[in-house]
A and B are shown apart, each in its own frame.
Chain A
């Protein structure tokens, strides 16, 4: 993690005197050596340039260039339709993910701790995880109509099984030696669960949460495309129907970006709140 130019570089003869300010190229090179963000930016640039080129060829009349998409995105933000769409999409998403996380981690941890709970619940969630949920989403409409309930339920149907099963696995893979350690110092069952089992399970617990949230995004998009044309789903459907492909892609790309940023944010929270040792390399 050294921030200064290394001595090896000075010996290269690029900088004639030590006092000379580093050239732009050198600064970029130093930056590239030390910062991960540089490579993330490069990776995104490559993607966007490829997109731009593919759009200009064009590979399909329905495939806009990157710059057209960006300007369409600007338009959608300016006329407020993007805000309205996210306002509608995020409600069932956040609600569904919060319910799935709370219920899923609760049930999964209970299954990990008790054989009875496992025998009772594991088969249900294994079936639910294996089931092609997209096929079940329209059924929800028959029961709950086309409102917020149906959309939230679609999110939960996709997110809950993966969170439950990962939480269960996380608890089952806790280091038994740490549990023995806690017992040997007369830790109560509650201390064992909250001071040993959950912290030790947290990496897998969070992996399950990340998968669950990703599944929740799929759920909300399915709901908006299959059940109720509202929110981002409506934005996509509408602009496709009027052949406004740049606007359609702007909506698609924005939901991908939101999903990615949410997952990255969760990873950050995990490393900084629950596992402080991960911060140190």
Chain B
């Protein structure tokens, strides 16, 4: 039972699948003398949620920002929908760890900001923004300013903003790390609902093993200094069960334990 819930990607370089929306090829990243990432090769399947998991210093956020085009790689190539990219693009949207909301703008303007930058007319932009504000459960807060919202609500704004531009790939950099534990769980459930609803590809960075196992279709474990891919795990959790049942499921707990055994050598 426990083992059947685990399917290990034993080959770290797997063949090019037809539906790989993001391909990471031989990515190296150095900051001066410090080697942050070494030889990363990964593929991210369309419509799946893949998590980059690892201890601090493993370069998971750096890798995500390289995929986003926000940080240049020292060498290697990122392909999105088969095309090599060097900077940010409309097919990717980023959700920031610190929310990155404009404090001088209302929720409505913040959510519509990606569309505003593209020059979409105000009426259409507001309509789209309102739809996503409702989808993340913030209806009624359109005219509030970020400082009037709780941390959890602010990140909902950040997520709505990323959804509003209708990108194929959503890149989430520890989106729930600044959110308290109760809201975090609610958030994870909402995220799964949005994954189901939006049929998009998600790349998710976290340092929480439980969170990774709970939300992911695939988990990429990174080891630190320099960051390398150490293991790829497909948790195969049956998500039709209720959230509480999943968290008590033996398969779920086994995957958590398996990952912990893999990572404990890096714990201080």
Chain A residues within 8 Å of B, Cβ to Cβ: 175, 177-178, 180-188, 191, 195-196, 199-200, 202, 274-277, 280
> Which B residues are within 8 Å of any A CB, using their own CB?
65, 68-70, 87-90, 92-94, 96, 98, 100, 102-104, 113-114, 116-118, 145-148, 165
CA distance in complex: A238, B117 (Å):
59
Shortest beta-carbon contacts, A-B, top 4: A181-B100, A277-B145, A185-B114, A184-B94
Q: Which residues does chain A contribute within 8 Å of B100, judged by CB atoms?
A: 175, 177-178, 180-181
Contact between B117 and A276 (Cβ–Cβ < 8 Å)?
no
Chain A contact surface mostly: helix
- Cα-based distance from A277 to B146 in the complex (angstroms): 9
Tell me if B68 and A184 are in contact (CB < 8 A). yes
Q: How near does chain B come to A58, taking the closest CB pair, in angstroms?
A: 52
Cβ-defined contact, A186 with B118, below 8 A? yes
- Taking CB atoms, residues of chain B closer than 8 Å to A183 are 70, 87-88
**Would B93 and A184 count as touching, CB distance under 8 A?**
yes
Min Cβ gap A109→B in Å is: 17
Contacts of A177 in B (CB 8 A): 96, 98, 100
CA distance A275 to B94 in the complex (A): 25
Residues of chain A within 8 A (CB-CB) of B88 are: 183-186
How many whole Å from B80's CB to the nearest CB in chain A? 13
CB-based nearest A residue for B92: A184
| Interface-central residue, A178, A183, A185, by most chain B CB under 10 Å | A185
CA distance A170 to B102 in the complex (A): 16
Apart from A180-B70, A185-B117: 13 A-B pairs, beta carbons within 8 A: A178-B100, A180-B94, A180-B96, A181-B94, A181-B96, A185-B93, A185-B113, A187-B117, A196-B102, A274-B104, A275-B104, A276-B104, A277-B104
A248 and B250 alpha carbons, distance in the complex (Å): 89
Determine the distance from Cα of A141 to Cα of B100 in the docked complex, in whole angstroms: 51
* B165 contacts A280, C-beta separation under 8 Å: no
User: Are B70 and A184 interface neighbours, CB within 8 A?
Assistant: yes
6 pairs, A vs B, C-beta closer than 8 Å: A177-B96, A178-B102, A181-B100, A184-B93, A184-B94, A277-B145
Minimum CB distance partner of A175 in chain B: B100
Q: How far is the CA of A175 from the CA of B88 in the complex (A)?
A: 19
Residue of B nearest to A182 (CB): B117
Q: Which residues of B contact A276 (CB under 8 A)?
A: 104, 145
Which B residues touch A202, using CB under 8 A?
Answer: 104
Taking CB atoms, residues of chain A closer than 8 Å to B68 are 184
A45–B165 Cα gap in the complex (Å)? 58
B116 → A minimal CB distance (Å): 8
Chain A residues with Cβ under 8 A from B147's Cβ? 277
Question: Closest residue of chain A to B110, judged by CB?
Answer: A181
Instruction: Determine the distance from Cα of A274 to Cα of B103 in the docked complex, in whole angstroms.
Output: 11
The docked-state distance in angstroms from the alpha carbon of A182 to that of B116 is 11
Q: Please, which residue of chain A has its CB at the minimum distance from the CB of B94?
A: A184
Closest to B164 in A: A185
Give the residue name and chain of the B residue nearest to A183 (CB). B88
Residue from the list A178, A180, A182, A185 in contact with B165, Cβ < 8 A: A185
A200 to B104, CA, bound (A): 8
Provide the bound-state CA to CA distance between A184 and B114, in Å: 9
Whole-angstrom distance from the CB of B175 to the nearest CB of chain A? 13
Residue from the set B70, B102, B147 with the largest chain A CB neighbour count within 10 Å: B102
Cα–Cα, bound, A195→B104 (Å): 10
Closest to B89 in A: A186
Q: How far is the CA of A276 from the CA of B90 in the complex (A)?
A: 30
The answer to whether A186 and B90 have CB atoms under 8 Å apart is: yes
Residues in A neighbouring B113, C-beta threshold 8 A: 181, 185
In the complex, which residue of chain B has the Cβ closest to the Cβ of A180? B70
Q: Report chain B residues within 8 Å CB of A195.
A: 116-117
A280, B148: Cβ atoms under 8 Å? yes
Shortest Cβ distance from B97 into A: residue: A177
Residue of A nearest to B102 (CB): A178
Given contacts A199-B104, A277-B147, contact A191 B70 (CB under 8 A): no
Closest to A277 in B: B145
Between A178, A184, A199, the greatest number of chain B beta carbons within 10 A of the residue's beta carbon is seen for A184
Q: Which residues of B contact A275 (CB under 8 A)?
A: 103-104
Shortest C-beta distance, A271 to chain B (Å), equals 11
Cα(A202)–Cα(B113), bound, Å: 19
| Shortest CB distance A199–B (Å) | 5
